[in-house]
Amino acid sequence: MKTLTEKLTVPPGFQNMQAFTLLEALLGRRSRRFFQGAEIPDGVFAYKSRQTIAPLSELEKLLVITACGGNTSWHNLIYRAERYAPYLSNYAGAAGGRTFPSAAGFHTSMTFFTDDEGVYVLDNRDAPASTERAADASLKLEEVLNALKQQIRKIKEGRLKLPPAVPYVEPHNTWVVNHPGTLLVIPVGDLAQHVLLTLCYMLQNGLVLTDDVNGRAIPGIEKFRDLVDPDNVWALTFVEQLAMAELTAELSTSCYAGALMLQAMGLGGWMFDGIDPFAMLGASGEPDVPGLGFRYDESDRWAYPNPTGLAGIMEGFCPPHYRDLRAAVEALCDRKFGSGGPFNPNTPGPWKDSARVRAAAKVHSEEFKECVALQAQYVFDTFGKFPGTVPSIFLLTYLQAHHLDLEFYDKFYKPGAYLKTHAEHMACWHSDGAN
- At 84, which CATH number? 3.40.109.10
Instruction: Determine, yes or no, domain membership for 324.
Output: yes
Q: Where are the beta strands (DSSP E) in 363-433?
A: 393-394, 398-402
Strands 233-235 and 208-211: parallel
Instruction: Determine, yes or no, domain membership for 434.
Output: no
Range of the domain at 283: 4-429
| Model pLDDT, residue 434 | 44
Instruction: Determine, yes or no, domain membership for 34.
Output: yes
Instruction: Determine, yes or no, domain membership for 95.
Output: yes
Instruction: Determine, yes or no, domain membership for 388.
Output: yes
Cis preceding linkage at 320, omega within 30:
yes
User: Which element (helix H / strand E) includes 375?
Assistant: helix 366-383
| Model pLDDT, residue 432 | 61
| Model pLDDT, residue 2 | 47
| Model pLDDT, residue 114 | 98
Q: What are the pLDDT digits (tens) for 383-396?
A: 999 999 999 999 99
| Model pLDDT, residue 433 | 44
Instruction: Determine, yes or no, domain membership for 293.
Output: yes
Instruction: Determine, yes or no, domain membership for 410.
Output: yes
Instruction: Determine, yes or no, domain membership for 435.
Output: no
Q: Where are the beta strands (DSSP E) in 191-228?
A: 208-211, 216-217
CA distances in angstroms from 329 to 60, 171, 196, 201, listed in the order given: 39, 42, 7, 13
| Model pLDDT, residue 8 | 64
Q: Domain count for the chain, please give it.
A: 1
Low-confidence ranges of the chain (pLDDT < 70): 1-8, 432-435
Contacts of residue 152, Cβ cutoff 8 Å, sequence gap at least 6: 65, 120, 121, 122, 123
